[in-house]
Amino acid sequence: MGLFDFAKDLGKKLFSGDDDPAEKIKDHIESANPGIKDLSVKYDDGKVALSGKAESQEAMEKAVLMAGNVKGVTDVTADGMEYPPEEKKVEYYTIVKGDTLSGIAKKFLGNAMDYPKIFEANREVIKDPDLIYVGQKIRIPLD
């Protein structure tokens, strides 16, 4: 998996001061248990590198988005992540001003009422379908 870029000043605040960013990000990902074993997180000046064994491509993608949607993170790579290849079609989208999940669903899935599909695909990143923020990066399941 290649490099994902994120907005450094946006996202969930997990660490500050003397905190170990890599440990905080690892705890954050593991708390949602997206399906990663032997997770390792490295952090260097906003750049995060993930490695481990993901049970699926979706689990790996969720871990990347969870790490990237953290305040202070600019880039995430998962080149060290092992996962079985899948044929699921997924697109990534960055929330812009005025977006709603129903509007995004209408744009990508053709039906505003399909917004629960987007919400479910991003449960680890979006806790409430009515609370999304500008700059947040999400997965759009196209299957």
Residue 143's pLDDT is 76
The mean predicted confidence, pLDDT, of the chain is 92
Q: Is the pLDDT of residue 2 over 70?
A: no
The separation between CA 125 and the C-alpha centre of its own chain, rounded to angstroms, equals 6
- Which domains are present in the chain? 3-82 (3.30.1340), 90-141 (3.10.350.10)
pTM, two decimals, is 0.86
Q: Is the pLDDT of residue 1 over 60?
A: no
Residue 50 · residue 81 · CB < 8 Å: yes
Q: Can you tell me the mean pLDDT for 66-81?
A: 93
Residue 106 · residue 87 · CB < 8 Å: no
pLDDT tens-digit map of 103-141: 999 999 999 999 999 999 999 899 999 999 999 999 999
